[in-house]
Structure 1
Amino acid sequence: MTPEALTPERILEATEEVLRRYGPAKATVVDVARALGVSHGSVYRHFRTKAELREAVTHRWLGRTEGTLEELTASPGPAPEKLRDWLATLFEAKREKAGGDPELFATYNVLIDESSGVVDRHLTVLEDQVRRILEEGVAAGEFEAPDPAASARAVFAATARFHDPAHAPGWRSPTADTEFDEVVGLLLRGLRP
């Protein structure tokens, strides 16, 4: 690949592959450059440090889920159904990442610990999406939430078992879907006016 054809997106794609192959402890910028057929200096022209590259790849990974959930947030429909669908989509996305690519999921858990600013921004985006759904529900008379931002944080905290990576080992439990439905049902009943 010529340095002119090198883009940040292509570097992030290669970085994911290198992380999948070597893990976060052994993956280097030199490995990424080698996978792209360029010098490591070419990678550093787009990402000044290894930490910046790792933050960007973490942001990209988390952003995929944010985009899908934003589509749900912006879609028309009753707020209770939208909130249920939003929470179910988040749960399934996290479960798919954990089960579908366990090596990369484990790698991202390490990177997430290093990138607290990226994770904090991600959580803020997700809580804001829930807040917007709650506000729609309040405006339509479907929810009662005097402080939608506080209620969004509470909904997010109450459902952490279904999206926080610390709980990933339990996501494939035979009772996980039933437990999810019970928690979400309880939340939705509690939000009714």
Structure 2
Amino acid sequence: MAATETLTAERILEATEEVLRRYGPAKATVVDVARVLGVSHGSVYRHFRTKAALREAVTERWLEGTITELRPHAEGTGPADERLTGWLTALFALKRNKAGGDPELMATFQVLIGENSAVVDRHVEHLVDQIARILADGVREGVFAAVEGEEVVTTARAVFDATDRFHDPAHAADWSAPDIETAFAAVVALILRSLRRA
């Protein structure tokens, strides 16, 4: 890091991701992160009080990228059924790209996710909230059958759970199967049929 460049939390997280990719979660240290940045490890600790806090923050940053990518589908305009299909398709594509594009980093984050269940729970809650927003719009549009209050969130969680095979990294080995696109389309079609007005 150049001497004139300000050390920020974001820059530390970028460097941490680089170190994790290089050494893996078992061997990566705060000293390694500091070395990449050209600062003392004490400078890193001024932003993140512990190694665990740093690992939690980098996990949260990585997961937040998915939420940001899906936001246009959740908050966009257009028919809710098309937005839901787009959201589910985008989530599947994002997960496949992460698993196939950088398998080492994906494996690293699987370890970090296991360490940070509260971060994962918040992430899933955000994703379910995005689905719930689409469902609520669909009810207002008359595209989806009427659900009210907490039932919208419950239904959104059911949609999320029903598509688990296509976004949970535990199923990443299945994502390159020759029939995976057909299986995905069938699940999405089933979900849409169950949500639509009679």
Whole-angstrom distance in 1 between the partners of 2:58 and 2:30: 13
The corresponding residue for 1:154 is 158
Unaligned runs of 5+ in 1: none
Q: In 2 relative to 1, CA 30–145 (structure 1 residues): closer, same or farther, beyond 3 Å?
A: farther
Residues 16-56 of structure 1: CA distance to partner in whole angstroms, max 9, x if unpaired? Answer: 11000000000000000011111000000000000000011
Pair 1:94 & 2:95 matched: yes
Please, what TM-score do these two structures have when normalized by structure 2? Answer: 0.95
The corresponding residue for 1:121 is 122
The corresponding residue for 1:77 is 78
Please, what TM-score do these two structures have when normalized by structure 1? Answer: 0.98
For residue 4 of structure 1, report the CA deviation from its aligned partner.
6.5
Whole-angstrom distance in 2 between the partners of 1:139 and 1:69: 21
Whole-angstrom distance in 1 between the partners of 2:64 and 2:77: 22
The corresponding residue for 2:46 is 45
For residue 124 of structure 1, report the CA deviation from its aligned partner.
0.2
Alignment of 1:104-143 (within 5 A): 104-143=105-144
User: RMSD of the TM alignment (CA)?
Assistant: 1.0
For residue 70 of structure 1, report the CA deviation from its aligned partner.
1.2
Unaligned runs of 5+ in 2: none
For residue 150 of structure 1, report the CA deviation from its aligned partner.
0.9
> Paired residues, what number?
193
The answer to whether the Cα contact below 8 Å between 1:11 and 1:32 also exists between their aligned partners in 2 is: yes
The answer to whether the Cα contact below 8 Å between 1:3 and 1:42 also exists between their aligned partners in 2 is: no
The corresponding residue for 1:6 is 7
Residues 143-191 of structure 1: CA distance to partner in whole angstroms, max 9, x if unpaired? Answer: 0142211110100000000001111111111111110000000000111
Amino acid at match of 1:153: R
The answer to whether the Cα contact below 8 Å between 1:98 and 1:168 also exists between their aligned partners in 2 is: yes
The answer to whether the Cα contact below 8 Å between 1:73 and 1:86 also exists between their aligned partners in 2 is: yes
> Does the residue aligned with 2:84 lie in a helix, a strand or coil?
helix
Q: Could you tell me the percent identity over the aligned residues?
A: 65
Alignment of 1:26-37 (within 5 A): 26-37=27-38
The list of structure 1 runs, each at least 4 consecutive aligned residues, that deviate by more than 6 angstroms after superposition, is none
